[in-house]
Amino acid sequence: MSGKYEAVIGLEVHVELNTKSKIFCSCPTEFGKEPNTQVCPVCLGLPGVLPVLNEEAVRKAVQAALALNCEITSYAKFDRKNYFYPDLPKAYQISQYDLPLARNGWIELSGGKRIGIRRVHLEEDAGKLVHQGDITSAAFSFADYNRCGVPLIEIVSEPDIRDPEEARDYLTRLKGILQHIGVSDCRMEEGSLRVDANVSVRPVGSREFGTRTELKNIGSFRAVYRGLSYEIERQSKLLDRGEPVIQETRHWDEQNGVTRSLRGKEEAQDYRYFPEPDLVPLQLDPDWVEEIRRTLPELPEARKARFVREYGLPEYDADVLVSSPPIANFYEECVRLFGEPKTVSNWVMGELFRLLNDSGMEPEELKLRPSELVSLLKMTREGVVSGKIAKDVFEQMFRTGEDPESIVKKHNLVQISDKSALEPLVLQVIAENPKVVDDYKSGKKQAFAFLVGQVMKATKGRANPAVVNELLHKRLD
Amino acid sequence: MILELWQLTVHELSQLLLRKEVSATELLESVWGRIEEVEDQVKSYITLDPEGARAAAAESQRLLESGRPRSALEGIPCGLKDVLSTKGLRTTCGSKILSNYVPPYDATAVQALKEAGTVILGKTNMDEFAMGSSCENSGFFPTHNPWDLTRVPGGSSGGSASAVAAGEAMFTLGSDTGGSVRQPASLCGVVGMKPTYGAVSRYGLIAFASSLDQIGPLTRDVTDCAMVLDFIVKHDPMDSTSVEIKRGSYLEALRPADEAVKGLKIGVPKEYMGKGLEPGVEAQVKKALELLQELGAEVEECSLPHSSYALDAYYVIAPAEASSNLARYDGVRYGYRSKQYDDLIDMYRKTRAEGFGPEVKRRIMLGTYALSAGYYDAYYLKAQKVRTLIREDFDKVFAKFDVIAGPTSPTVAFKLGEKVDDPLAMYLSDIFTIPVNLAGLPGISVPCGFSEGLPVGLQFIGKAFDESTLLRVAYATEQACSLGNMAVLCARALAKGTKEGARG
Amino acid sequence: MEHTLSLEEVRHVARLARLVFKPEEEEMFRQQLSRILDHVQRLNELDTSRVQPTFHVVPLKNVMRRDETRPCLPRDEVLANAPDAQGGFFRVPKITEG
């Protein structure tokens, strides 16, 4: 985008709530079971069945809405959204149309900008369709209704987002908030968090909206960023050429890095919403809502402030750590076991983030336990391993899941602090580098570091740098 | 005169069974014999379950003999409208689209009857998805009125009404969305009640119009109605619209006729006694009301000014809800699937085009249209607002009256084929029953006389959850009109009709 | 007000409802539905501008159940009525968008 245009982005995020049972029946919500084993007459939509609302789904939706600064509506109802698809057994989805559970919230981004949240509503998830090969070429599709009826909240943002980076920031914060209050595990790879994006572009300074497209099939936050960037670029080029943007749904093709039109998919959808006669309205008791507000778990902003206050961390460190609840929890547990908050934060933000990034792993997939990092930190503090070796050990712990003690033992990585063992090596290094020794003696301080490095190298990093320093000074000064 | 067992009422048989004067197996064989005798002419049942019934009767007999009957309904043979889900027993809802569907669960009302120890004979015929007033919209075959085999039994619970009238069941359950229990009860000379919306669980009742549907009993007399009601009116956590009500036994609420109606204020809406009402029906209704007056009831004219709009509101609301409720019949999880199709959407359309009959399609089309973009406010929302006006009419009348009375149906049973090609004429058959469903109130139809040799029903409408008053006034009517043993009278008419049928 | 449906409207509604008609049926439904819709127009004689709709006749609200699980249906019962099933799944014909 050449600076001529600005993007207008709104996000619709579906999040599965982690209740024990489904939203309208008593089937379990567990993920990854054999197909069609987590179903009953109700979620299968057999003739004659009726829905009964799960109170915990309402509670969790209210928690989420309050954490997103929403107002809880005094009168909400459920509606039927009618459409035919094999993953939808009743051929309608019970959702909320004109009177959603909550409205008018916001999320604050890093720079302090607020992104409005238009509404949060409760609905039921659909089943899953498995295709042999590509959806359009497969001779058959296979329906599994295990997921059918898992409670969902849909969080609809205002079109306040202006670029892909803000979109990513919004999503990261949204996920952080929902994980903090514990209403969802927000695993995008398991589909418990799903994102659709509406995007349009307009000339900078214009107040009208351009024609928008809807992006679907976005599998990760990275894909949100890439898909939006692509779509903004595509729409900008169309406008440059004087061609119209067509209002349509487009699929993100992760492999080829492009968005594709689902041409002719729908004669404009007509969902024929009407109030669900099988469910009565929700008129939540304000006292009950207040009780939920009071007992809401600590939100990221508050936790960040506490990290600064309690652990003496810089604002920046605190912000990065709390952006991901699994990381923040990991961090706090390490500090509890080890102390030294700044040392721990350096390890988490340095080594751990680097490894997560390199492996493409999400923080919630982390298998490493706080106690394992703490063992390593203790070994470092007690001089059992050197700081440098510790980083290698940590990488091995991360990749293999082995505990630090056995890694150190197996690879013989224990730090050498024994003067009698290091003395001969120090003498040898001095003997082999007469010129460097001369340089040092004539005042070149950095020559000393070279000599230390040579000893370290000779011990494959195991020598205790403090002891080496001491021995060298004794010989040279 | 010695009566056959199948000619007795539930409360009479209950006594005989409990006193061990009759066995449950004897009773079943009597009813079964009657079914074998008349079912070819009447065609009340879509599915009969002789093995299930015999096993249930044997179990009942065992419990009766050991002095541990489960309830007063122990061993009583009954029929269920095929709109009720029955575990392991085919449930078609009168439709080809469900012709091979065997549910894995029981409706709550069915479970209640099983737990009470009743013997389920089979599933009775009905208009497809309960849409119709004559039983001619059944996806399988029409049912005949046992009082005159050339006439309809009414609908949609036509098979449930004809089975009780003809002695093919001691009682049945039906469902009533716009009159589907009361109108066939009226046309077949039996008692039929639609309880207050929320009184009987709808769980397992295959939905037609969810905000109107209600299960109700069809019985030989009012006492039987109260007995059955006592078992099925119960709060059900599986139905969010089920209401928890404090109530005593309906059976025990019945009182002798004079005591029951003395000082009772009965309103007769002038809108129910006007044009379109057959003179023979009007005469019988008026005669019955006079009898009640003689017993001490205060009968006065009242007005439900929006009555004439009820039919219009109903024919928007019911089809709209139906279009959504019937969308699940798509050939994917159960029921019929077309044999030839190109792809998914083609399969959907052909399955539904081949599986549904014309009336069902008509209503799906009507409802889909009424909910579609641009029409929702003008049709669906408008109709729901008019529904409020209709409710308010009733509220006003009930501020002054205890019950409302009038004809159940504007006509006696009409001829088979008479109205099949004219949907609007057929719809008019329910003009007096529909407003009751729109307002969610209880209504009962009780036989009050004959016109042209065919039964006429008197309808009473009550305040919400005031079933007791309705039962009392219906019981008084039954006493006052003293029409005799309807099962015997009907059997006589049926025997005559069968002979004429054989000759003609 | 005369309310006459066009054949195109009949076809559109049939598509929405996943139904399909033969040409003579289309014409029959067009006529019958038009007649019924004409009749229903009578509702417009009533002024309902200040009337709330009745979506529920029961005065209930907040009907909810506890978050407890119960046993599911055995899979053979789940699939027993399926017109086509394979490998524990319901099998459906190919989905051609359009």
Nearest residue on chain A to C73, alpha-carbon basis:
A40
Amino acid at A248: E
Q: Which residues contact A346 (CB under 8 A, 6 or more apart)?
A: none
Residue B23, Cβ neighbours under 10 Å: how many?
A: 18
Q: What is the CA radius of gyration of chain A?
A: 29
Instruction: Name the residue among A91, A149, A85 with its Cα closest to residue A122.
Output: A149
Q: Are A270 and B372 in contact (CB under 8 A)?
A: yes
* Mean pLDDT along residues B1-25: 95
* Mean pLDDT along residues B343-368: 97
CB of B352 within 8 Å of a chain C CB? The answer is: yes
Q: How would you classify the pairing of strands B191-194 and B214-219? A: antiparallel
Kindly name the residue from B23, B85, B180, B242 that is annotated as catalytic: B180
What sign for the dihedral angle of Cα B418, B424, B426, B430?
A: negative
State the chains in contact with A (3 or more Cβ–Cβ pairs under 8 Å).
B, C
Q: Which residues contact C41 (CB under 8 A, 6 or more apart)?
A: C1, C3
CA–CA–CA angle B203, B206, B209 (5° rounding)? 100
Residue B62 lies in a domain: yes
Is B162 annotated as catalytic?
A: no
The whole model's pTM is what? 0.90
Say what the alpha-carbon torsion angle A157, A161, A164, A166 is, to the nearest 10 degrees: -90
**In this model, does residue B174 exceed pLDDT 80?**
yes
CA–CA separation, B365 and B378 (whole Å): 16
CA–CA separation, A335 and A357 (whole Å): 23
Between chains, do B101 and C18 touch, taking CB under 8 Å as contact? no
Q: Are B108 and B335 in contact (CB under 8 A)?
A: no
Domain ranges across chain C: 7-44
Between chains, do C57 and B197 touch, taking CB under 8 Å as contact? yes
Topology of the domain covering A419-476: Arc Repressor Mutant, subunit A (1.10.10)
Q: Which residues contact A111 (CB under 8 A, 6 or more apart)?
A: none
CATH code for the domain in which residue B409 is found: 3.90.1300.10
Domain count, chain B: 1
CA–CA–CA angle B406, B439, B238 (5° rounding)? 125
Kindly name the residue from B44, B156, B160, B468 that is annotated as catalytic: B156
CB of B424 within 8 Å of a chain C CB? The answer is: yes
Instruction: Name the residue among B147, B106, B155, B152 with its Cα closest to residue B130.
Output: B155
Query: Chain B partners of C32 at a C-beta cutoff of 8 Å?
Result: 362, 423
Residue with tokens 């009597």: B30
Paired tokens of A161: 């987002």
Collapsing DSSP to helix, strand or coil, B367 comes out as helix
Instruction: Kindly report, residue by residue over A81-136, the tens digit of the pLDDT.
Output: 999 999 999 999 999 999 999 999 999 998 889 999 999 999 999 999 998 766 66
Q: Are B344 and C96 in contact (CB under 8 A)?
A: yes
CA–CA separation, B12 and B6 (whole Å): 11
Residue B500, Cβ neighbours under 10 Å: how many?
A: 12
Residue A474 pLDDT grade (very low, low, confident, very high; cuts 50, 70, 90): confident
CB of C96 within 8 Å of a chain B CB? The answer is: yes
CA–CA–CA angle C44, C46, C50 (5° rounding)? 110
How far out from the chain centre does Cα A310 lie? 25
Is B201 annotated as catalytic?
A: no
* Mean pLDDT along residues B275-285: 93
Residue C98 pLDDT grade (very low, low, confident, very high; cuts 50, 70, 90): very low
Residue with tokens 């912000």: A319
* Mean pLDDT along residues C32-60: 95
Between chains, do A84 and B211 touch, taking CB under 8 Å as contact? no
Q: Which of A47, A50, A141 sits opposite B240 (nearest CB)?
A: A50
Instruction: Kindly report, residue by residue over B93-112, the tens digit of the pLDDT.
Output: 999 999 999 999 999 999 99
Domain ranges across chain A: 5-291, 295-410, 419-476
Residue B18 lies in a domain: yes
Q: Are C64 and A55 in contact (CB under 8 A)?
A: yes
Instruction: Name the residue among B151, B239, B226 with its Cα closest to residue B193.
Output: B226
Distance (Å) from the C-alpha of residue B95 to the closest C-alpha of chain A?
12
Residue B500 pLDDT grade (very low, low, confident, very high; cuts 50, 70, 90): confident
Amino acid at B411: T
Between chains, do A135 and C95 touch, taking CB under 8 Å as contact? yes
Instruction: Name the residue among A380, A440, A436 with its Cα closest to residue A405.
Output: A380
Amino acid at A285: D
Between chains, do C91 and A284 touch, taking CB under 8 Å as contact? no
**In this model, does residue A1 exceed pLDDT 50?**
no
Residue B401 lies in a domain: yes
Paired tokens of A392: 């290698």
Between chains, do B203 and A49 touch, taking CB under 8 Å as contact? yes
Which H helix or E strand runs over B423? helix B423-427
Is B95 annotated as catalytic?
A: no
Q: Tell me, what's the pLDDT at C1?
A: 45
Report H helices in B86-203: 108-116, 158-166, 182-188
Q: Are A473 and A451 in contact (CB under 8 A)?
A: no
Paired tokens of B117: 């120890």
Between chains, do A136 and C66 touch, taking CB under 8 Å as contact? no
Residue B99, Cβ neighbours under 10 Å: how many?
A: 16
Domain that holds residue B402: 11-308+387-503
Paired tokens of A217: 């099939």
CB of B365 within 8 Å of a chain A CB? The answer is: no
Instruction: Name the residue among B482, B471, B459 with its Cα closest to residue B254.
Output: B471
Report H helices in C1-98: 7-16, 23-40, 75-79
Collapsing DSSP to helix, strand or coil, B451 comes out as strand
Query: Chain B partners of A279 at a C-beta cutoff of 8 Å?
Result: 240
Report H helices in A269-386: 286-294, 300-311, 315-322, 325-338, 341-347, 353-359, 370-381
- DSSP code for B218: E
Which H helix or E strand runs over A14? strand A5-16
Long-range contacts of the stretch A441-445 (C-beta < 8 A, 24+):
A441/A476
Nearest residue on chain A to B104, alpha-carbon basis:
A41
**In this model, does residue A207 exceed pLDDT 80?**
yes
Distance (Å) from the C-alpha of residue A214 to the closest C-alpha of chain B?
21
**In this model, does residue A408 exceed pLDDT 50?**
yes
**In this model, does residue A62 exceed pLDDT 80?**
yes
Q: Tell me the angle at which helices A434-441 and A446-458 cross, rounded to the nearest 10 degrees.
A: 150
Report H helices in B21-153: 24-42, 50-65, 108-116
Arithmetic mean of pLDDT over chain B: 96
Paired tokens of B486: 């309807």
CB of B188 within 8 Å of a chain A CB? The answer is: no
CATH class of C7-44: mainly alpha
What number is the ipTM of this complex? 0.97
Query: Chain B partners of A48 at a C-beta cutoff of 8 Å?
Result: 84-85, 103, 107, 202-207
Between chains, do C81 and B335 touch, taking CB under 8 Å as contact? yes
CB of C16 within 8 Å of a chain A CB? The answer is: yes
Collapsing DSSP to helix, strand or coil, C37 comes out as helix
Residue B378 lies in a domain: no
Q: Above pLDDT 90, what percent of chain A?
A: 66
Between chains, do B309 and C42 touch, taking CB under 8 Å as contact? yes
Q: Tell me, what's the pLDDT at B423?
A: 84
Say what the alpha-carbon torsion angle B167, B170, B176, B178 is, to the nearest 10 degrees: 30
Paired tokens of B162: 């004809």
* Mean pLDDT along residues C78-92: 97
Whether residue B156 is preceded by a cis peptide bond, meaning omega within 30 degrees of 0, is: yes
CA–CA–CA angle A205, A210, A212 (5° rounding)? 140
* Mean pLDDT along residues A190-205: 94
